[in-house]
Structure 1
Amino acid sequence: MSIKKVYLIRHGQTDYNLQSIVQGSGVDAPLNATGQRQAELFYQKYKDVKFDKVYTSTLQRSIQSVQRFIDLGIPHEKHAGLNEINWGTREGTRITPEEDAYYHGILQTWCDGNTGICIEGGESPDLVYERQKPFIDLMLSRPEEETILVCMHGRAMRILLCQLLRYPLRCMDEFRHENLCLYELDYTGSMFAVRKYCDVAHLQVPAEGITQK
């Protein structure tokens, strides 16, 4: 049985990330200069990996983060199932514990196991879980794609990792994420194993050590 290797990354930094503004599936923000540099650093580190397919969400920050791989001619597919959770009325707003106790309360509600509860005007983790299932089924139905690159979003990535690694959704915050972090997973045909966890070593390369396109 050949091993399917999945390189799962979060998108690079946007100005919304920098300003602690909530961006979900309804906010299509581009990468900022730092995010573009993060994408380039990741490309320089992993450009020699023989990816068979690149999968992204439909949002531009996800696509821009792996554009250099797409430019190599690697087949690319966009899937709405990989989009970030819809944060409803909180999208586009700056969130701090002092400013929005409700937002932080709903996160705690999910951690307590009540993952079917939607944030006001938006989605629940259970809904995101369900819309991710067709993508997972598709990915696993293609054994010819032995090495794939998947770029998506923080909360949605946590939910996907719970699915792939068979964790209950209440444990999703156990999966840390940073902009352009990497989870490297192996799939043997019956289960996934984590080879790299929230890895950002590729971002430590000095700026003068990279070349821009």
Structure 2
Amino acid sequence: MQIYFIRHGRTQYNLEHRFQGGRADSPLVESGIAGAKAAGTYLQNVEFSAVYSSPQQRALDTAKYIVAANHWQPEIQVDDGLREFDFGDWDGLKEDEVQPQSYAPMIFTSPAEYQPELAGGGEDYATFVSRITGTIHRLVDQVGVSNAKPLLVVSHGLVTTMTVKALMGVPLAKLRAPFIINGQEMKTVGHGIVDNDSLTVLSTPDNRQFELTRWNETTYLE
């Protein structure tokens, strides 16, 4: 089984460097729409076993652009387990606006120590990782791990990045550290996540062991 992860297209909040988590949404900007359409063209000949999207509009709109270009026109199924990390009251605020400002770096550097009650509320990393990895395990079970057709998941930067790292055995404390595969540091953007409209692919023979076959691919956006 292969799992294709697409991060949603660029949004207005992305441009404004605002927290855009599970409680916030912002429309795709022109470049985000163009990127989603490019991803759709790139994947137009891939027959998916199923397509799942986060319920948040930026992800769902991205999924719609991708499916619109696909020869098989698969149905998009919405799954709340794919919702982005919940930043609590910090959602929608600019990174330099949140209070206490002195605690803000913790969310970007120290996932094991981050305490949402000292920030804006919302999720801690352990809860988040349990939710998103559990969701992927469940979706793989639903389509069948022996299915020859890949599963498409359209979601968010943290959902994609942290799901892949966690499923590959990266411990909680290292989730925000550089991602090293075979001695090579993998490409990331802002605070160590995958690019907007990027493609990342995991493969698994048994829904327990996972191998990275593509990471943060953006060649089709150039």
Answer yes or no: is 1:63 the counterpart of 2:60. yes
Deviations 1:34-68 (A, max 9, x none): 11000011111111111121111110111111213
**Partners of 2:168 and 2:77 in 1: CA distance:** 23
| Deviation at residue 16 of structure 1 after TM alignment | 0.5
Structure-1 residue corresponding to 2:103: 102
Report the residue type matching 1:66 in the other structure.
Answer: A
Structure-1 residue corresponding to 2:183: none
> How many residues in Structure 1 have an aligned counterpart in Structure 2?
198
Structure-2 residue corresponding to 1:156: 159
Structure-1 residue corresponding to 2:91: 91
**Partners of 1:88 and 1:82 in 2: CA distance:** 17
**Partners of 2:47 and 2:38 in 1: CA distance:** 17
Equivalences for residues 1-213 of structure 1 within 5 A: 4-71=1-68, 72-96=72-96, 100-110=101-111, 113-114=112-113, 117-118=115-116, 119-141=119-141, 142-143=143-144, 144=147, 146-173=149-176, 174-175=178-179, 176=188, 177-189=194-206, 190-204=208-222
Report the residue type matching 2:150 in the other structure.
Answer: T
1:178/1:198 contact within 8 Å kept: yes
**Structure 2 unaligned spans of 5+:** 180-187, 189-193
Please give the TM-score of this superposition, normalised by the length of structure 1. 0.84
Once structures 1 and 2 are overlaid, which stretch shifts more, 179-188 or 143-152? 143-152
Q: Secondary structure at the match of 1:55?
A: strand
| Deviation at residue 145 of structure 1 after TM alignment | 6.7
2:3/2:153 contact within 8 Å kept: yes
Please give the TM-score of this superposition, normalised by the length of structure 2. 0.81
Q: Secondary structure at the match of 1:151?
A: strand
Report the residue type matching 1:6 in the other structure.
Answer: I
2:90/2:98 contact within 8 Å kept: no
| Deviation at residue 8 of structure 1 after TM alignment | 0.7
2:43/2:66 contact within 8 Å kept: no
Report the residue type matching 2:105 in the other structure.
Answer: H
**Partners of 2:98 and 2:84 in 1: CA distance:** 24
**Partners of 2:132 and 2:195 in 1: CA distance:** 21
Structure-1 residue corresponding to 2:184: none
**Structure 1 unaligned spans of 5+:** 205-213
Deviations 1:161-187 (A, max 9, x none): 133212112222235311111111111
